[in-house]
């Protein structure tokens, strides 16, 4: 399908990008991997007058560890998926990336682009929420760090301002005695998930649940945290019955949509099954590192 007309700008630096965004604002779109933006252009769902191409900006292609993990916005999904550093510092991220589209899509798609697009069925926004991650945005006004719960606002909507560029994503280190899991269900491999679940389970010295995070994808306008179910697990003795009870509560508390891919009841049942499975797997990992 033929794209709508636009003026293409190949940017050479972050400073150049934020300058162009400051000049054009909503009339401009940033092109990274293009795996989400190009289809939107093809279907005329986006019609920017200016397309700012950031593929030549090498300073945004990095993976750093230290006190947590930082991934530059132009790191491709496949690079992050296969990175030893990502696997060691944020294994939940590496695990979730294996579910992103197909290999060809992961070869082009970027970490920053996926988060800026903010599809609620996508893997990275869900993992960002589960790990209490942050994004870093830059404009001519300066740099700001935005927590996941403040960044993701609704369907394909974030708190990025029109003159801001997402330049990096940060994931804090997991505490000791912490396990994780990611599961999702789609009708075909590579499709967006009808429902997904990302979990993090931390254990105390006494073996009881110290903290737990359970986040669903595909059941709302943003990734949905099962806050009440998380609270109900804290202080309890881990068991299959605890995971089943928490999964039941989490599924009962969500309000998923119905569409051609599945009814609300179907998504709720998927959430129940995926939550129970993910909590069990996260606990097993927490025990294995004890």
Q: What tens digit of pLDDT does each residue of 192-212 get?
A: 899 999 999 999 999 999 999
Which structural domains are found in the chain, ordered by start?
A: 7-53 (3.30.43.10), 61-171 (3.30.465.10), 178-288 (3.30.390.50)
Give the per-residue pLDDT at 290: 65
User: CA-CA distance, 14 to 139, in Å (whole number)?
Assistant: 9
For residue 1, what pLDDT band results from cuts at 50, 70 and 90? low
Res. 155: pLDDT tops 80:
yes
Q: What is the pTM of this model?
A: 0.95
Encoded tokens for 49: 């007058």
Identify the three-state secondary structure at position 173. Answer: coil
Work out the pLDDT band at 3, boundaries 50, 70, 90.
confident
Mean pLDDT of 10-16: 98
What is the spatial distance between Cα 200 and Cα 4, in angstroms, rounded to a whole number? 43
224-251 pLDDT per residue, tens: 999 999 999 999 999 999 999 999 999 9
């Amino acid at each position: 399908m033929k794209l709508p007309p636009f003026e293409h700008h190949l940017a050479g630096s972050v400073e150049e990008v934020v300058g162009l965004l400051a000049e054009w604002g909503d009339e401009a779109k940033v092109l990274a991997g293009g795996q989400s933006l190009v289809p939107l252009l093809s279907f005329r769902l986006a019609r920017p007058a200016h397309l700012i191409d950031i593929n030549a900006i090498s300073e945004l292609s990095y993976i750093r560890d230290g006190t947590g993990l930082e991934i530059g916005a132009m790191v491709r999904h496949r690079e992050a998926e296969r990175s030893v550093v990502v696997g060691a510092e944020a294994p939940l991220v590496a695990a979730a990336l294996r579910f992103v589209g197909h290999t060809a899509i992961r070869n082009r798609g970027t970490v920053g682009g996926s988060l800026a697009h903010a599809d609620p069925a996508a893997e990275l926004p869900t993992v960002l929420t589960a790990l209490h991650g942050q994004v870093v945005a830059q404009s001519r006004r300066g740099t700001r760090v935005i927590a996941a719960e403040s960044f993701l606002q609704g369907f394909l909507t974030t708190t990025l301002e029109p003159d801001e560029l997402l330049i990096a994503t940060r994931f804090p280190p997991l505490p000791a005695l912490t396990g994780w899991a990611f599961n999702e269900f789609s009708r075909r491999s590579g499709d967006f998930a009808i429902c997904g679940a990302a979990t993090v389970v931390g254990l105390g010295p006494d073996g009881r649940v110290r903290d737990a995070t359970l986040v669903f994808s595909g059941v709302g306008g943003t990734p949905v945290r099962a806050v009440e179910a998380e609270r109900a697990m804290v202080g309890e003795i881990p068991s299959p019955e605890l995971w089943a009870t928490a999964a039941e509560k989490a599924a009962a508390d969500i309000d998923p949509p119905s569409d051609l891919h599945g009814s609300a009841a179907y998504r709720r049942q998927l959430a129940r099954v995926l939550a129970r499975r993910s909590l069990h797997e996260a606990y097993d990992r927490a025990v294995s590192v004890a």
